[in-house]
């Protein structure tokens, strides 16, 4: 299990921000321009940066949760019955 450091700011945690991006992508059924997603990401909190956004997108892509096509991303829907394993 991935555990964040206890002294870290949870509003800037990659897993928390990833869930917000997933919720944003869930409302869109098609590929979304990364720039539009970045703008909505940065508006929500002054402490957010584009570097945190790219790290969060990389995390989501590495976990197999988003797909990219050019400069656009889309949420990947998986079958609920199949459990994803990390190791």
DSSP H or E segment with residue 38: helix 34-43
CATH of domain 11-75: 1.10.10
**pTM metric for this prediction:** 0.78
Mean pLDDT check: name the lowest of 10-19, 35-44, 75-84: 75-84
Per-residue pLDDT, 83? 56
Q: What is the pLDDT of residues 22-51, one digit of tens each?
A: 999 998 889 999 999 999 999 998 899 999
Domain ranges of the chain: 11-75
Residues with Cβ within 8 Å of 35's Cβ and at least 6 positions away in sequence, in order, are 71
User: What's the alpha-carbon Rg for the chain, to the nearest Å?
Assistant: 13
pLDDT for residue 42: 93
Kindly state the tokens that stand for 25: 């992508």
Mean pLDDT of 51-56: 95
């Amino acid at each position: 299990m991935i555990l964040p450091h206890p002294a870290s700011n949870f509003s800037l945690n990659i897993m928390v921000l990833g869930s917000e991006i997933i919720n944003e992508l869930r409302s869109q059924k098609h590929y979304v321009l990364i720039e539009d997603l970045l703008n909505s990401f940065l508006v929500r909190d002054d402490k957010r940066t584009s570097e945190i956004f790219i790290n969060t997108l990389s995390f989501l892509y590495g976990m197999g949760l988003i797909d990219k096509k050019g400069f656009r991303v889309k949420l990947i829907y998986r079958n609920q019955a199949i459990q994803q394993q990390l190791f």
